[in-house]
Amino acid sequence: MSVDLNFGCPAKLVNRHDGGASLLRQPDRVYQAVKAVSEALEGEIPVTAKIRLGFANRRLAVACAQATEAGGAAQLVVHARTRDEGYRPPAHWEWIGKIRRHVSIPVVANGDIWTLEDYWKARTLSGVVT
């Protein structure tokens, strides 16, 4: 069992109410949310997080990943697009590799993995097991 915090939701309704991917504009808010949940669970249940590469751009991708780790996340799932990119190809799996090099928690690649060929490409470019 774990509690997964989804900072990757691109839904306009969720983002309009300052949830989901909208939090990726401020890494400190990501940190505060993860920390609050981690502390409330007192280590009894692991906390995991999912992020995208950012809201409108990738400028804060690494900072948001580091914020999840600093807040106490045990694992990070990274959807390889920004919120503004939605689900449109391509996924930027190489950015997952950049993030992976800046955190020590396990990182999982997410986004556009439909075939075995996609799996191998994502794994190769990201350096993580998807």
Q: Which residues are catalytic?
A: 9
Peptide bond into 90 cis (omega under 30): yes
DSSP labels for the chain? Answer: --EEEEE----HHHHHTT-GGGGGG-HHHHHHHHHHHHHHHTTSS-EEEEEES-SSSSTTHHHHHHHHHHHT-SEEEEESS-TTTTTPSPP-HHHHHHHHTT--S-EEEESS--SHHHHHHHHHHH-S--
119: its two tokens: 């799996």
